[in-house]
Amino acid sequence: MWPFLVSGLALALILLHLWWLRRHRQARRTILKLKADRRDSEERRRQMESQARAQEEALFNSMIEGVLILDGNGRIQLANRALEKLFATTTDLRGKTLMETLRIHTLPELVNRLAKEGTVDGLELELPGLDKRLLQVNATAVLDSKGQRQGSILVFHDLTRLKQLENTRQEFVANVSHELRTPLSLIKGYVETLLEGAREDPAVAVRFLQTIDKHADRLTYLIEDLLTISRLESGQIVLNLHPVELRPIAGRVIDDLQARAAERSVTLFNRVPEGLMAHADADRLQQVLFNLVDNAIKYGRTPGQVTLGGVRTEDHLIEMTVQDDGPGIPQESLTRVFERFYRVDKARSREQGGTGLGLSIVKHIVQSHRGEVWAESEPGKGTTFHFTLPEARKV
């Protein structure tokens, strides 16, 4: 009986031990799996965090506005690329104060204002330096759940270009008003004198009426040129680009201006070679040549000569020229003549019915053909206007 009892007990103990071993192994496996899962989720969390950080950084750096984030002690936590560009800095701004880095007194003052006001909108700031950038700052204090200040965010908008455009527009409106007022006041003056009795003398009346007619023409040219400029700038004029043979176009311009040239004893020559082809809008091109030849007649010598030429350059461009033998343009005005309303000799331009817009129209049209225009002149020997156009193959 005893031996059976002992061997039965031993078997039970062995079985119990085996069961315990299996449970222990299972428990170990479960713990290892849990640890691995935790490692995985930790890794995933880290990946997601770094992805979110990279997205945030990409977002900040792709912003046009400069962004500056300060901590509660006024030290820079983050500055995006636009901000570094605005302030022309290449050093790492993080951890430093505004006065250590950007050195603009208004900024620490602004941060102090934020402590009291919470937000500051539309503060304008002029950066010192050669290009005098004008910035607008919007700033806000960052508060925690208890209303304690944790830092501040400053957003900078660059207003320089906007301001320049506004100045140009204001200047243009002022110039246009002035240009319109001059002939109008002259017309009014002559009409009043006629009404006051000058009409009694037929010779005086005719002279006054001719002057009125001339100034009315000036007004018409001015309005036509203003409309052309406005249409060109607003993109209303769409270029009708085709292969265009240049010699016949130069011929047409010469025909149109022949009478005007004869009045001033100017001879016009068409030296544009046959077969020279440009990829251009024929009507606009004719307008460019018309303005240049018209100027060459108006401001050239009398008697004088005006020559139209053209060559094919090595880089597949056509270079057209209009050359006169007049008094020329002073060196300092050679680039400025393409500005609106710029005239070398104001009285001469007005007397010739000039609007001051002819060459800016020329420049606009040439540039919209992806060409360039420039003037060369030797005082006393004449002026040559050059412009380029893309070449076209003969069809």
Q: Does 194 bind ligand ADP (CB under 6 A)?
A: no
Q: How far apart are the first and last CA of the chain?
A: 123
DSSP designation for 97: B
Q: Does 324 bind ligand ADP (CB under 6 A)?
A: yes
| CA diameter of the chain | 164
Q: Which of 102, 110, 232, 359 binds ligand ADP (CB under 6 A)?
A: 359
User: Closer CB to ligand ADP, residue 111 or residue 375?
Assistant: 375
Binding to ligand ADP (CB under 6 A) within 252-311 occurs at 291, 295-296, 299-300
To ligand ADP, the closest distance from the beta carbon of 274 in angstroms equals 26
Place of tokens 């919007």: 138
Q: Which of 354, 363, 386, 391 binds ligand ADP (CB under 6 A)?
A: 354
Binding to ligand ADP (CB under 6 A) within 156-175 occurs at none
User: Closer CB to ligand ADP, residue 76 or residue 292?
Assistant: 292
Q: Does 384 bind ligand ADP (CB under 6 A)?
A: no
Binding to ligand ADP (CB under 6 A) within 79-98 occurs at none
298: closest CA among 351, 221, 344? 351
User: Closer CB to ligand ADP, residue 294 or residue 391?
Assistant: 294
Q: Which residues of 89-125 are buried (b: 16+ CB within 10 A; e: fewer)?
A: eeeebeeebbeebbebebbeebbebbeeeeebeebee
Q: Which of 358, 366, 389, 391 binds ligand ADP (CB under 6 A)?
A: 358
Alpha-helix residue ranges (DSSP H) falling in 300-357: 346-351
Taking residue 246's Cβ as centre, other Cβ atoms within 10 Å add up to 26
d(CA 272, CA 311): 8
User: Could you check whether the bond before residue 303 is cis, i.e. omega within 30 degrees of 0?
Assistant: yes
Q: With contacts defined by CB under 6 A, name the span among 53-61, 211-219, 232-240, 352-360 that binds ligand ADP.
A: 352-360
Q: With contacts defined by CB under 6 A, name the span among 40-48, 157-165, 201-209, 341-349 that binds ligand ADP.
A: 341-349
Q: Does 383 bind ligand ADP (CB under 6 A)?
A: yes
Q: How would you classify the pairing of strands 266-271 and 304-312?
A: parallel
What sign results for the dihedral spanned by CA atoms 354, 260, 253, 330?
Answer: negative
78: closest CA among 164, 163, 188, 152? 152
Q: Which of 189, 344, 374, 376 binds ligand ADP (CB under 6 A)?
A: 344
Q: Which of 183, 304, 326, 371 binds ligand ADP (CB under 6 A)?
A: 326
User: Closer CB to ligand ADP, residue 158 or residue 324?
Assistant: 324
User: Closer CB to ligand ADP, residue 87 or residue 290?
Assistant: 290
d(CA 322, CA 246): 13
What are the residues binding ligand ADP (CB under 6 A)? 291, 295-296, 299-300, 324, 326, 329, 337, 342-345, 349, 354-360, 383
